[in-house]
Structure formats: structure tokens, C-alpha cells
């Protein structure tokens, strides 16, 4: 690959890494708030265990920064900000109920899909840059993201079904 193309890829990789590093920290905080806001024990069980995973993911991302010889520094991008704001609006705008749980799960899944997309971009970029160690760390994060996504999809059915008996449901 030509040097200028490598530089562009290098810059894109670092920008995306800063994006997801910042996003993970926000997600950690948001997920804790979402877990507190859920109505059902199943909802809490869906959110809470991922917090420790995120802490581990942040450590892996720090290691990736280290492999690049760069300081671990995040940068806020508007896309994740908007997705996280949506979660905040749900917590403020609806009473604690199965209906709110369904919305929170859906919002958490939007966050996860962002997380998955960004990790996918980084893994794709790591290989041509010869960052095999980084790719391995990012794969470990992605595996956890994918597993949570599957879990949230299963969880989405439970509160949605409970809406049948929920007077606050639309």
C-alpha cells in the first residue's frame, strides 16, 4: 500500500480508537444508570454483568493505544452522544415499567451495535497496518459485544410480552 494510503488508514485507526475509547467510558456510566432504572430483575441481569466486561474492554483499548505508542485519550463523536442521549430521555420520560424496560433494552442494543460497528472497523484497519496484537485485543472485545447483543435480543421479548398487562404501555 502507498505511504499516503497507510497514513490515512493510520489516522482513521487512531480516530476510531479514540472514538470507541471515549464511547466505552460513556457506555459504562449509561449502562449503570440503565440497570438502576430497569423495572425487572431480568433487565438488571441483562445490563449489570456487562459493566465488568466494559471495564476489561477499556483496559484492552488502553493496551491498543500502548501498542501504537500513543497515550490513551478519547475523543467525543456526536453519533454515540446522540445514542446515549436517547437512553437518558427514556429514563426521564417514562415511568418505571415493563414498557420502559423494552425501550431501555432497545436503546442498549443501539449502543451495542455502535460498539460492534466501531470494533469491526478497527479490526479491519488493524490487519493492513500489521497490528496483529491490536487485532487480537479488539477481537476479544468484539466477542463480548456480540454475546451481549444476542442476550439483549432474547431479553427484548420478555418485557415486550409483559406489556400486555402493563397499564402504562401505549
Q: Where do contacts with Fe ion occur on this chain (CB under 5 A)?
A: 57, 115, 145
DSSP 94: S
Find out whether 25 and 58 touch, Cβ atoms under 8 Å. Answer: yes
In whole angstroms, the minimum distance from the beta carbon of 100 to Fe ion comes to 21
In whole angstroms, the minimum distance from the beta carbon of 117 to Fe ion comes to 11
Q: Which residue is nearest to Fe ion (CB)?
A: 115
In terms of CB distance, is 84 or 162 closer to Fe ion?
Answer: 84
In whole angstroms, the minimum distance from the beta carbon of 15 to Fe ion comes to 17
In terms of CB distance, is 103 or 151 closer to Fe ion?
Answer: 151
In terms of CB distance, is 30 or 57 closer to Fe ion?
Answer: 57
Distances (CA, A) of 44 to 3, 75, 107, 108, 147: 49, 29, 14, 12, 16
In terms of CB distance, is 10 or 25 closer to Fe ion?
Answer: 25
Instruction: Give burial (CB, 10 Å; 0-12/13-18/19+) of 1.
Output: exposed
Q: Could you give the CA distance from residue 121 to residue 123 in angstroms, rounded to a whole number? A: 6
In whole angstroms, the minimum distance from the beta carbon of 169 to Fe ion comes to 27
Which grid coordinates are listed for 59?
A: 483496559
Amino acid at each position: 500500500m502507498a505511504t499516503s494510503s497507510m497514513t490515512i488508514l493510520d489516522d482513521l485507526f487512531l480516530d476510531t480508537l479514540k472514538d470507541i475509547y471515549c464511547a466505552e467510558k460513556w457506555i459504562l456510566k449509561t449502562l449503570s444508570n440503565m440497570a438502576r432504572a430497569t423495572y425487572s430483575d431480568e433487565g438488571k441481569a441483562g445490563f449489570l454483568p456487562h459493566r465488568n466486561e466494559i471495564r476489561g474492554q477499556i483496559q484492552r483499548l488502553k493496551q491498543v493505544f500502548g501498542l501504537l505508542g500513543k497515550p490513551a485519550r478519547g475523543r467525543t463523536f456526536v453519533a454515540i452522544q446522540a445514542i446515549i442521549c436517547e437512553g437518558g430521555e427514556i429514563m426521564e420520560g417514562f415511568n418505571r415499567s415493563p414498557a420502559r424496560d423494552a425501550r431501555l433494552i432497545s436503546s442498549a442494543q443501539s449502543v451495542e451495535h455502535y460498539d460492534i460497528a466501531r470494533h469491526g472497523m478497527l479490526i479491519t484497519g488493524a490487519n493492513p497496518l500489521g497490528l496483529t496484537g491490536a487485532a487480537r485485543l479488539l477481537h476479544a472485545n468484539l466477542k463480548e459485544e456480540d454475546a451481549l447483543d444476542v442476550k439483549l435480543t432474547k431479553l427484548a421479548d420478555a418485557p415486550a410480552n409483559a406489556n400486555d398487562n402493563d397499564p402504562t404501555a401505549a
